[in-house]
């Protein structure tokens, strides 16, 4: 939900007064979609691997899953910071 609401909030703050006066980026253009896709894949892989590590009681598999989940957290924060640090474009 962060990448639905946060870009809209930032877009509304930055571009609401320019709406209708020219071409403005859409809220979805404020975050990096390829990074979001990699983040989603890393989350899914991390969740599955971590769950398997719990089920089989294997600490190496648990650590591997935790690494994928850590990668997910880093990519998530990178994308959120990109949205929060957005500078308005010149029209």
The domain spans of the chain are 43-91
DSSP state of 78: H
pLDDT higher than 80, residue 19: no
DSSP string of 10-53, one letter each residue: HHHHHHGGGBTTB----GGGGS-HHHHHHHHHHHHHHHHHHHHH
The rounded distance, in Å, linking the Cα atoms of 46 and 62 is 9
Give CA–CA dist 63/36, Å, rounded. 23
pTM for this model (two decimals): 0.80
Question: CA-to-CA distance for 55 and 34, rounded, in angstroms?
Answer: 32
Q: What per-residue string of b and e applies to 17-31 under the rule 16 or more CB within 10 Å gives b?
A: eeeeeeebeebeebb
pLDDT tens, residue by residue, 29-85: 788 889 999 999 999 999 999 999 999 999 999 999 999 999 999 999 999 999 888
């Amino acid at each position: 939900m962060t990448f639905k609401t946060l870009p809209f909030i930032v877009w509304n703050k930055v571009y609401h007064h320019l709406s209708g006066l020219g071409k403005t980026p859409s809220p979805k253009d404020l975050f990096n979609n390829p990074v979001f896709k990699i983040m989603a894949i890393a989350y899914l892989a991390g969740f599955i691997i971590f769950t398997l590590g719990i089920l089989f009681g294997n600490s190496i598999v648990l650590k591997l899953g935790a690494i994928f989940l850590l990668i997910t957290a880093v990519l998530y924060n990178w994308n959120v910071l990109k949205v929060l640090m957005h500078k308005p474009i010149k029209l």
